[in-house]
Amino acid sequence: MKARARALQDFVERLNLLSLREIARQAGVQSAMRVTCYYRDGKTLNSCATLRCPQEGNCTLELVREGWFDQRPLRRSIGRDLIEKLNAAFSRAGFDRLDDQPATQQSVRILWLVERAAGTFFHNVLLMPEIPQPPYSGIVNALDDYLPEAIREIPK
């Protein structure tokens, strides 16, 4: 799976985005999350959604889609109540202790790299959302419920 994760990390680097670790260490940032969606068939736009949560106030979601707006992020404010629900769902799924989802088939069309960071804490999980087995299904469902724009598929 680590070779598959490298394709997603390469995509983020091509977008010239800061790593999530760097974002989490910025002054005033309490926590950060990133969802990178990679479509291996090339028929859908790859995307990277980064959520920055300051010490106080609303969080900001920055969404970059490959080939749109010269890779400039679309920004949206997200309320703390929604983020608390998302974090609670991630906790129920045991996100911070999960390894990458085991590969159950050789070719998967979609890969998600979900990362969370706060200060020096950092954890990521590689998912195959088309075959979400528990506990990974809890993460897929949480993103679908609370942050659907981060995972929305847009055909090329």
Domain assignment present for 71:
yes
Range of the structural domain that residue 79 is part of: 2-151
Domain count, the chain: 1
pTM metric for this prediction: 0.92
In a domain, 156, yes or no: no
**Assigned domain for 57 exists:** yes
CA angle 46, 49, 54 (to 5 degrees): 170
DSSP string, 8-26: HHHHHHHTTPPPHHHHHTS
Q: What is the CATH number of the domain that holds 58?
A: 3.30.1560
pLDDT of the chain along its 156 residues, tens only? 456 677 777 888 888 899 999 999 999 999 999 999 998 888 999 999 999 999 999 999 999 998 888 788 999 999 999 999 999 999 999 999 999 998 766 678 899 999 999 988 999 999 999 987 899 999 999 999 999 999 999 998
Per the CB < 8 A criterion, the answer to whether 29 and 120 are in contact is no
Residue 114 lies in a domain: yes
